[in-house]
Amino acid sequence: MKAFLYGLLFFVIVAVGAFVYLKYFSPSGTGSQTYKTQSITKTGELRKTTVAGSDFTHMLVAAGESVGVASYTLNLDDYIGKQVEIVGQYSGDTLYADTIQIRE
């Protein structure tokens, strides 16, 4: 009976310790990582696109090169079909636009 009680006490101590560690000391976050780069400027024509499973909604096309573009703060639909200059940061292969200017 003593062995059972000692085992139960040990189990409770380990469980409480694990709970406290996970609650207060483990690294927080959802497990996903976002890698951002320095600000970069790209110029081209902005087009709407639908690529299944992608995190971008628009493409910037210039000189045979295309870049997926998204933004949390800007309405990219206002610039579709126009020559624009986008300043933003890459996260993976997607350029997240911070500012957009229409080019003449």
> Is domain 40-102 given the CATH code 3.40.640.10 in the classification?
no
Round to whole Å and give the CA distance between 96 and 4: 59
- What is the mean predicted confidence (pLDDT) over 69-93? 91
- The most distant pair of C-alpha atoms in the chain lies apart, rounded to whole Å, by 86
- What is the mean predicted confidence (pLDDT) over 9-19? 90
Round to whole Å and give the CA distance between 2 and 101: 76
pLDDT digits (tens, 9 = 90+) for 75-84: 999 999 999 9
Question: Residue 34 — pLDDT band, cuts 50, 70, 90?
Answer: low
Where is pLDDT greater, at 38 or 74? Answer: 74
The count of other CB atoms within 10 Å of the CB of residue 34 is 8
- What is the mean predicted confidence (pLDDT) over 58-65? 89
* Strand boundaries in 51-93, DSSP class E: 58-62, 65-70, 83-91
Whether 18 shows a pLDDT value over 90: the answer reads no
| Chain mean pLDDT for the chain | 85
Phi, psi of 103 (to 5 degrees): -95, 145
Ordered alpha helix ranges (H), the chain: 2-20
